[in-house]
Amino acid sequence: MQKKLLNVKPKSQLSPIPMVMGCEGTAASMLLDYNHIFVHPISLMKRWPTHPSNPNKGYVGHFLMIKPVAHQTIFPNAFVPYLKLYDTRIQDGTGKSLTELEAIIDQGQPVLIYHTVLGQKPQRRTFKVDGGRKEWVSNIHITLLIGYDSAHYYYIDPLWAQFGRKLYVPALIPSKHQIIKIPKDKMRQSYDSAGRLCIYHGKF
């Protein structure tokens, strides 16, 4: 199988200022920019919906700092309606398999995906949410899936850069080294364990 790789311009959540918890906004900004809707990650994150504890209702915490006791993210069912304010063709693809996401890439569109950091083994934690408790995979990260071949997936990581096969360093500046190559089986476990959460541009 010939490698399919979309030409998406990388952005770093550490540049120009360290948005330490800003992977969602940075990945969404790359997705919008690719579709000629130019929005800076900080502009996205300053205006998105927020919630004290439930990422199904809004972003939990603040993108510039870590909130240790919270599941600090925003899930697609809260994020997509907000992103539709910038482009009505943004779609919630939650539930789609990676094979289905390959078809979206074949149509020329990257996909914002939720998966474990660098394909790590999922770590589950219980969080206090809306007066109750909810278990989620805690070590999730949001990246932009841009390609695949017969054995690997390729994604742009807003936080990490890859040098060689196993060296990962913080992406202090945007670069091609943010394109991470990961075996398909490893990504499948990483993506599926986080709940198959994804967002894409439904231009087709």
CATH code for the domain in which residue 124 is found: 3.90.70.10
Long-range contacts of 92-95 (CB under 8 A, 24+ apart): 92/199, 93/198, 93/199, 93/200, 94/195, 94/196, 94/197, 94/198, 95/196
**157-173 residue pLDDT tens:** 999 999 988 899 999 99
H or E element at residue 116 = strand 111-116
Q: Which of 60, 25, 73, 79 is nearest to 130 (CA)?
A: 60
Q: How many domains does the chain have?
A: 1
**14-66 residue pLDDT tens:** 999 999 999 999 999 999 999 999 999 999 999 999 999 999 999 999 999 98
CB 173 within 8 A of CB 15: yes
Q: Is the dihedral of CA 135, 54, 45, 147 positive or negative?
A: positive
75 bridge partner residues: none
Amino acid, single-letter form, for residue 72: Q
Specify the pLDDT at position 130. 87
Specify the pLDDT at position 131. 78
The mean pLDDT value of the chain amounts to 95
Q: In this structure, what DSSP letter does residue 120 have?
A: P
Confidence of residue 204 (pLDDT cuts 50, 70, 90): low
**Percent of the chain at pLDDT exceeding 70:** 99
CB 33 within 8 A of CB 6: no
Residues in the chain: 204
CB 4 within 8 A of CB 149: yes
Answer whether 0.85 is exceeded by the pTM: yes
| Residue recorded with tokens 């390729």 | 154
Residues spanned by the domain of 95:
4-201
d(CA 117, CA 169): 13
pLDDT over threshold 70, residue 85: yes
**91-136 residue pLDDT tens:** 999 999 999 999 999 999 999 999 999 999 999 999 999 879 999 9
Beta carbons within 8 Å of 121's beta carbon, 6+ residues apart: none
Using CA atoms, how far residue 92 sits from 89, 119, 183, 198, in Å, is 10, 22, 25, 6
Specify the pLDDT at position 179. 98
Q: In this structure, what DSSP letter does residue 90 have?
A: E
